Copies of this chain bind each other. A is one copy, B any other.
Amino acid sequence: MDNEYIVSLGRAAKNASAEISRASTAQKNAALDAIARLLVEHSDEITAANKLDLEYAAAKGIPAPMLDRLKLDDKRIAGIADSLHELIKLADPVGSGSRTTRPNGLVIENIRVPLGVVAIIYEARPNVTVDAAALCIKTGNACILRGGSEAINTNRVLTQLMRDALCEVGLPADSVALVNDTSRESATALMKLRGYIDLLVPRGGAGLIRSVVENAEVPVIETGAGNCHVYIDESADLDMAVKVTLNAKLSRPSVCNAAETLLVHKNIAAQFLPAFKSALTHELVIRGCERTRALIDCEAADESDWATEYDDYILAVRVVDSLDEAIAHISRYSTKHSEAIITRSMESADRFRSEIDAAAVYVNASTRFTDGGEFGFGAELGISTQKLHTRGPMGLDALTTNKYLVTGNGQIR
């Protein structure tokens, strides 16, 4: 890979960011509107490119769920355009802030400003190409998109349309750039592009995250690792416990907020586990501890199951002696994404909320709600599982930083 190519992308994005950072909300919304229009007008071109990607991917033997995520049709393109119109309605955080006057007369304003250049490394999901770029445009950031190789033809068309839309409203095309090289080297070069990238968001599996931790020299927000738990307390409402567990595991197993391990208090296990198993609405591989296997027919779990994010129709199940044991298990294996307790005990709920260290802690609700849309943010760039900057769904605010503006009349210290 030609490292000069990545540096040139970085330089162009940095230059563009200086301009788009000062764009008005109206101008940024006009860009989003133009993107929505151009996507729909050029849906034939998009779907033709997407067909190429789908054919290559099918020939490579890509699994069906991944092919489905890769696919764009007229309906999905209309859906993307709709979400752009929703994004237009959201408040622009840039320029908001607070103001104080110090005893010496200095006026100190602390305002939200764009980060600058945001790079996103993601999998073969073309909708992310538009979503991520749109969130960056709305917040006055330039972005560099490094999508998966399987979507490269689709991404090229989408990116060109977005660049055309930016030009149409007088904003620099380089505010949105696609890395035209989907090698591992291009991703690593982005991670080291210090001085040009203000934030790198890796979206992907454990391998990508590990590579980022080892290689990144630019600021990173880690997203997406979700080894989420549902704990059924001894006082749980049985029906609610079954309903929430089914939803947390089965409604969309491939996403990061789906449950991976179920913990059940020993005093409710004999009632709950058979009820849960007989309520299953989809085939599910259960890997249970010994006490689980004494109650329901299932595979045997080993230590590695507690640490695994299956992203599949597989659930690890463990019977625990107490809330303490449940909290200790979660503290050991959790990726600090989303954790739920089902309980009627206020004491258990309070302890769980206080002692579980995670982006989102649920009492009597499904872990599946950890999502920018469900939280009312309107959109998200990913779910942060780190503690710096922001935790949980990353909405528009997460794409800004602060800047102190200090105005005086000659004050010295």
Contacts and interface: CB of A to CB of B under 8 A. Distances in A.
A387 interface: yes
A361 B405 contact: yes
A149 interface: no
A253 to B, nearest CB: 13
Contacts of A412: 243-244, 246-248, 251, 365-366, 368
Contacts of A391: 401-404
A11 B246 CA distance: 36
A358 B403 CA distance: 7
Contacts of A407: 349, 362-365
Interface string A123-162: 0000000000000000000000000000000000000000
Contacts of A355: 18, 22
Nearest to A393: B404
A370 B251 CA distance: 50
B376 A102 contact: yes
Contact of A386 (B219, B362, B411): B219
A304 interface: no
Contacts of A361: 403-406
A256 interface: no
A206 interface: no
Contacts of A349: 407
A194 interface: yes
A97 to B, nearest CB: 12
B116 A359 contact: no
Contacts of A251: 412-413
Question: Which interface class (under 10, 10 to 19, 20 to 34, 35 or more) fits A?
Answer: 35 or more
A355 B403 CA distance: 11
A115 interface: yes
B405 A369 contact: no
A237 B387 CA distance: 45
B413 A247 contact: yes
Nearest to A14: B331
A66 interface: no
Interface in A365-397: 365-366, 368-370, 374-376, 386-392
Contacts of A237: 410
Interface of A: 18, 22, 100, 102, 106, 108, 110, 113, 115-116, 194, 198-199, 213-214, 217, 219, 221, 237, 240, 243-244, 246-248, 251, 331, 349, 353-355, 357-366, 368-370, 374-376, 386-392, 401-413
Given A198-B387, A246-B412, 13 more contacts: A102-B374, A108-B376, A199-B387, A213-B217, A251-B413, A357-B403, A362-B407, A362-B408, A363-B407, A365-B408, A368-B413, A370-B404, A392-B402
